[in-house]
């Protein structure tokens, strides 16, 4: 996977395909809804239909009004199938730096950690 696409997850729910982007806005929306990204990850583990729809809406940059439609699609597809991909997406949000960049050990990245 190229570094530009690192963290992007494509998810087929019902008859639609959603591309979830690892953006700060999506991360903040998920944090606000679940009290942090860890809370969002826990919601996927619990396989909550509404929570899965919340994460899809945030990650795909959809309007809040689309939540009910997405929730119905999650239900029709099967929340177990959908939640596994969403857990992968949130894991990318928790670790946004591509492994190839982290492995390089860029000096500028190390200097900000001091």
Q: Using only the alpha carbons of the chain, give its radius of gyration.
A: 15
Instruction: Kindly report, residue by residue over 20-72, the tens digit of the pLDDT.
Output: 999 999 999 999 999 999 999 999 999 999 999 999 999 999 999 999 999 99
Stated length of the chain: 114
CA dihedral 82→84→91→56, nearest 10 degrees, is 10
State the residue range of the domain holding 35.
3-112
Is residue 111 scored above 50 in pLDDT? no
Whether the predicted pLDDT of 17 surpasses 60: yes
Strand partners, 9: 20
| pLDDT score of 96 | 72
Query: What is the pLDDT, as a whole number, of residue 95?
Result: 83
Nearest residue to 82 (alpha-carbon basis) of 98, 60, 63, 64: 60
Structural domains counted in the chain: 1
Residues 80-105: tens digit of each pLDDT: 999 999 999 999 999 876 656 555 66
């Amino acid at each position: 996977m190229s570094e530009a696409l690192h963290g992007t997850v494509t998810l087929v729910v019902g008859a639609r395909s959603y591309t979830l982007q690892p953006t700060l806005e999506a991360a903040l929306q998920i944090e606000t809804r679940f009290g942090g990204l860890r809370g969002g990850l826990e919601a996927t583990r619990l396989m909550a239909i509404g929570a899965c729809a919340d994460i899809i809406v945030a990650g795909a940059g959809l309007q809040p009004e689309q939540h009910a439609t997405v929730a119905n699609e999650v239900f029709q597809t099967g929340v177990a199938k959908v939640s596994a991909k969403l857990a992968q997406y949130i894991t990318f949000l928790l670790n946004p730096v591509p492994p190839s960049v982290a492995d390089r050990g860029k000096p500028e990245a190390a200097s900000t950690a001091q």
